[in-house]
């Protein structure tokens, strides 16, 4: 039994990395996660993980990290920030899961291409009959 106590003492003395449990809420209300991340993980790293975990049966699927916007506490998170830098004061709930909202925006070049296709002149045929 003394050996078991020694192991517990060693575990308690080991420095723990600050882990944060995150869940990502998608546009249709479904979730990815919860998954534990290091507080030193960047927003860009989170976006890459979201793309890798994205359900393939969804109508909208992001292709690259720039297609994804993460929102936490009403703020759009910047790619170069770490999770620790983005944490809001009320996100400090012990053993709580922080929910971030995911917005998918197509890249601007793709949107412009689609608008050009939609705006292209459509051939309409008109027929008039005079009686």
Q: Residue 100 pLDDT > 70, yes or no?
A: yes
Q: Residue 26 pLDDT > 90, yes or no?
A: yes
Q: Going by CATH, does the domain composed of 17-108 fall within 3.10.20.90?
A: yes
- Give pLDDT tens digits for 56-93: 898 889 989 899 999 988 899 999 999 888 876 554 55
- 113 or 130, which is more confident? 130
Residue 35: phi and psi, rounded to 5, are: -135, 140
Q: Give the residue extent of every domain in the chain.
A: 17-108
Q: How far apart are CA 51 and CA 11, in angstroms?
A: 35
Question: What is the pTM for the complete model shown?
Answer: 0.65
């Amino acid at each position: 039994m003394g050996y078991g106590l020694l192991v517990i003492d060693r575990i308690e003395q080991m420095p723990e990395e600050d882990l944060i449990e995150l869940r990502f809420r998608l546009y249709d209300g479904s979730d990815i996660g919860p998954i534990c991340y290091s507080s030193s993980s960047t927003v860009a790293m989170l976006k890459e993980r979201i793309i890798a975990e994205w359900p393939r049966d969804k109508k909208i699927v992001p292709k690259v990290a720039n297609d994804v916007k993460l929102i936490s506490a009403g703020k759009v998170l910047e790619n170069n920030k770490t999770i620790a830098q983005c944490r809001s004061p009320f996100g400090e709930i012990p053993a709580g899961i922080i929910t971030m909202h995911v917005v998918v925006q197509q890249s601007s070049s793709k949107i412009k291409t689609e608008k050009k296709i939609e705006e292209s002149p459509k051939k309409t045929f008109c027929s008039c009959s005079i009686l």
